[in-house]
Structure 1
Amino acid sequence: MAQTTASLHTPGQFDPDNLQVTFCNKTDSEMKLAYWLFNMMGMPALVKAGGMATILALRLGLPIKPLIRNTLYRHFCGGETVQEAQQVVQKLAAARVQTVLDYAAEAQDTEPGFDAVRDEVLRNIALAGDTRGFSCISVKLTGIGHNSIYEKLHLKQNLSPEEQKAFARTEARLDEICRAAAEADITVYIDAEESWLQNPVDELAEEMMRRYNKERAVVFNTLQMYRTDRVAYLKACLRRFENEPVILGIKIVRGAYLEKEQNRAEAQGYPCPVFTRKADSDKSFNEAIDICLDNLHRVELCAATHNEQSITYLTKRIRQDNISNHRDRIHFSQLYGMSDNLTYNLAAAGYNASKYLPYGDVATAVPYLIRRAEENTSIAGQMGRELVLLQKEMRRRKL
């Protein structure tokens, strides 16, 4: 892969405590909103109850959309349309932060619903190719295919003829997206799913990498490193592609379904597929970093994490190992609305940093937003860290 001039620059020191860089894009009113939100999200019981109440209110047709739009939605989403999201994309770009555009609507479990998601993603790829405003998109395979079919495939159960045709349509949708991305020079991050759906997602992601990752990583598969088997999967994946001219796209996250995974395993009486101790997830995540860096000649790595220790570890490895093409091979990413001290200071130091930017109609994106809020409350120390940084900056601004 050719190296760009920027990629040859040695990155600067990553300083997650530089508040002026952290909040360079935040107005005073945005600071106050963020402080209020993170105070609320520091109470998990309130988040859970509020989420249930919000869904009920929307079902009953109560006029709460403006309230959602001006609070949670404003802080964590780019807008209801891709045109609105473009304004946020430009704002991020001004701070040298890239965007991973994420269509957040929860798809209907129907063929027309899956086609609608595919069409929206294809329009975004075309827009990215035309404007060069952003270079990455996120795709959730449960948005373009039936959960029930993924689950049967995961269990190696035979599909009916109708299910086989439906799954072929799912693969065709994904292929259309990946082919369009390759032609437009866009990157596709395929999201991870629950453990009982993941095997066919892995297989589809690997097939797309085999088709399109010849000269660069067009397609990334996502590995949830809180799963006990993901280090083994990563090593096996590297072995499978050892003699193939393919650049593997590997995005590592800690994981998004901890409570759901533990509860299901207990209810159905099978071994829990996720670590029960955070220290084990941390070790697994950093081991994946090491494996990818050892194979960087045939891997592109995206470390999508809010964990400051893992990010610091990776930036130190880049500097110590003198990885000159780090901007081409190594990406960092955090959710929009969270951990700005990581994203903005990574970008300021010269690393390839991005925000996951969701957008979509308020009503259809609410389940997504609630899931994000519940995830955020479960990140150890996250709310306290966000609040401390906000308090310091608000004092500096005399708010």
Structure 2
Amino acid sequence: MEQATVTQPLPGRFDPENLQVTFCNKTDSEMKLAYFLFSMMGKPALVKAGGAATTLALRLGLPVKGLIRNTIYKHFCGGETVEEAQKAVQKMAGAHVQTVLDYAAEAQDTEAGFDAVRDEVLRNIALARDSRSFSCISVKLTGIGRNSIFNKLHLRKTLSPDEQAAYDRTTTRLDAICRAAAAADITVYLDAEESWLQNPMDELAEEMMRRYNQNRAVVFNTLQMYRTDRVAYLKACIRRFEGEPVILGIKIVRGAYLEKEQLRAKAQDYPCPVFLRKADTDKSFNDAIDICLENLHRVELCAATHNEQSITYLTERIQREHISNHRSRIHFSQLYGMSDNLTYNLAAAGYNASKYLPYGEVATAVPYLIRRAEENTSIAGQMGRELALLQKEMRRRKL
């Protein structure tokens, strides 16, 4: 079903160098903390050792929660509860930055644990419906279903009766989330996982889109564009839905498991499913932008990236091609605590920009925080870019 075009003013020029906009929400003490953290994260060996030490300290019950809470947790998370996270939500809303709320706790691999995650997400949808303070949530399918079953389905193996029953419960949990989101006018971003789990997740995402994306993109599937097959998957997905009254929700990212994918492929002697050269990933990401823009009458696109070149490419196409319904069809997103020069300047220029805002109890959020720190060290130039911008602003403030 083709959505009616709403005429909206074209945005202004995206300027990632505007430091006053970039750091408009940062106090002097928050600037100093950010500088300290990014300085530390510029040392990969230190990040790896620190992550291992933190995990061990928590396992041994050592009193380190306060240190974590006041440093890396404070910078990358919104709080331990959704109520605490609301402060960050409101602060960002003041700068026209939207929130994608992300429950960051690692789920217990039990039916009760999966039910608990579903219930937490449903509470968040109800809060979003009633407060209208945010309109997007993130869901990890491994938080509501077993990795082993996703892997077996990925390999096209037959499930046992118990496994099939467990998978049916996973599908029911996801359907409850998507149904509630559709009724509440909330958007659901389904996270991507490792390549050996992803096929059944793609199928689930497409099924939920068929059920709930008739009038708008309630459900978004996430494509990791460092995978060599994702451009082909995107084209095939658009073909599969041709003629159906469905708005496809497509979120594109570069990818989160590069080293893990390469090591597993080498260890198990199968073709590496991810690009070995960053330039190929960059081309794949921009190719996905092109494909989505060509099909914007049937697609909503979320470009979730910290890559300034890709963002500039997309914003320039929006302006050059006078895409007047960009705010309802094209979204930009970055992680909370990173790349504020992109998010805040996109929002200031009139684009639809958001932050992924995680929350959760300190101890259970540690695996998430360690992944964020390790990802930061692996992004070419990320630490230098963050530090250079912080230094300029700190000099401007005479800190």
TM interval, shorter chain, is: over 0.9
1:8 aligns to what SS in structure 2?
A: coil
1:58 to partner: Cα distance: 0.2
1:310 aligns to what SS in structure 2?
A: helix
1:70 to partner: Cα distance: 0.2
2:354 aligns to what SS in structure 1?
A: strand
Match of 1:47 in 2: 47
Match of 1:232 in 2: 232
Kindly indicate whether residue 192 of structure 2 is the aligned counterpart of residue 157 of structure 1. no
1:375 to partner: Cα distance: 0.8
Matches within 5 A, 1:58-73: 58-73=58-73
- Provide the rounded CA distance (Å) in 1 between the counterparts of 2:378 and 2:306: 12
- Provide the rounded CA distance (Å) in 2 between the counterparts of 1:320 and 1:165: 51
- In structure 1, what residue type is equivalent to 2:359? Y
- Provide the rounded CA distance (Å) in 2 between the counterparts of 1:278 and 1:3: 36
- Provide the rounded CA distance (Å) in 1 between the counterparts of 2:154 and 2:107: 21
2:15 aligns to what SS in structure 1?
A: coil
Q: Deviations over 1:108-139 (max 9, x none)?
A: 00000000000000000000000000000000
1:372 to partner: Cα distance: 1.1
Match of 2:13 in 1: 13
Match of 1:243 in 2: 243
Match of 2:178 in 1: 178
- In structure 2, what residue type is equivalent to 1:69? R
2:303 aligns to what SS in structure 1?
A: strand
Structure 2 residues not aligned, in runs of 5+: none
Match of 2:33 in 1: 33
Match of 1:256 in 2: 256
Match of 2:303 in 1: 303
Aligned length: 397
1:333 aligns to what SS in structure 2?
A: strand
Kindly indicate whether residue 89 of structure 2 is the aligned counterpart of residue 85 of structure 1. no
Q: Deviations over 1:63-120 (max 9, x none)?
A: 0000000000000000000000000000000000000000000000000000000000
Q: Percent identity?
A: 84
- Provide the rounded CA distance (Å) in 2 between the counterparts of 1:193 and 1:376: 18
- Provide the rounded CA distance (Å) in 1 between the counterparts of 2:84 and 2:183: 25
Kindly indicate whether residue 207 of structure 2 is the aligned counterpart of residue 207 of structure 1. yes
2:296 aligns to what SS in structure 1?
A: coil
Match of 1:290 in 2: 290
- Provide the rounded CA distance (Å) in 1 between the counterparts of 2:134 and 2:222: 20
- Provide the rounded CA distance (Å) in 2 between the counterparts of 1:283 and 1:382: 19
- Provide the rounded CA distance (Å) in 2 between the counterparts of 1:93 and 1:264: 41
- In structure 1, what residue type is equivalent to 2:369? L
1:3 to partner: Cα distance: 5.0
- Provide the rounded CA distance (Å) in 1 between the counterparts of 2:5 and 2:73: 38
- Provide the rounded CA distance (Å) in 2 between the counterparts of 1:102 and 1:10: 30
- In structure 2, what residue type is equivalent to 1:73? Y
- In structure 2, what residue type is equivalent to 1:293? L
Q: Deviations over 1:157-202 (max 9, x none)?
A: 0000000000000000000000000000000000000000000000
Q: Deviations over 1:243-264 (max 9, x none)?
A: 1100000000000000000000
Kindly indicate whether residue 162 of structure 2 is the aligned counterpart of residue 127 of structure 1. no
1:114 aligns to what SS in structure 2?
A: helix
2:101 aligns to what SS in structure 1?
A: strand
Q: Deviations over 1:333-390 (max 9, x none)?
A: 0000000000000000000000000000000010011011111110000000000000
Match of 2:100 in 1: 100
- Provide the rounded CA distance (Å) in 2 between the counterparts of 1:366 and 1:275: 29
- Provide the rounded CA distance (Å) in 2 between the counterparts of 1:210 and 1:376: 36
2:177 aligns to what SS in structure 1?
A: helix
Structure 1 residues not aligned, in runs of 5+: none
1:302 to partner: Cα distance: 0.0
1:346 aligns to what SS in structure 2?
A: helix
Match of 1:218 in 2: 218
- Provide the rounded CA distance (Å) in 2 between the counterparts of 1:2 and 1:195: 36
- Provide the rounded CA distance (Å) in 1 between the counterparts of 2:221 and 2:204: 9
- Provide the rounded CA distance (Å) in 2 between the counterparts of 1:351 and 1:250: 17
- In structure 2, what residue type is equivalent to 1:282? D
- In structure 2, what residue type is equivalent to 1:269? D
Give the TM-score normalised by structure 1: 0.99
1:2 to partner: Cα distance: 4.5
- Provide the rounded CA distance (Å) in 2 between the counterparts of 1:58 and 1:125: 31
- Provide the rounded CA distance (Å) in 1 between the counterparts of 2:4 and 2:70: 44
1:142 aligns to what SS in structure 2?
A: helix
- Provide the rounded CA distance (Å) in 2 between the counterparts of 1:127 and 1:371: 28
The RMSD of aligned alpha carbons is 0.6
- Provide the rounded CA distance (Å) in 1 between the counterparts of 2:332 and 2:286: 14
- Provide the rounded CA distance (Å) in 2 between the counterparts of 1:158 and 1:185: 37
Match of 2:334 in 1: 334
1:10 to partner: Cα distance: 1.0
Kindly indicate whether residue 394 of structure 2 is the aligned counterpart of residue 394 of structure 1. yes
Give the TM-score normalised by structure 2: 0.99
- Provide the rounded CA distance (Å) in 1 between the counterparts of 2:288 and 2:5: 24
- In structure 1, what residue type is equivalent to 2:147? N
- In structure 2, what residue type is equivalent to 1:71? T
1:134 aligns to what SS in structure 2?
A: coil
- Provide the rounded CA distance (Å) in 2 between the counterparts of 1:155 and 1:45: 36
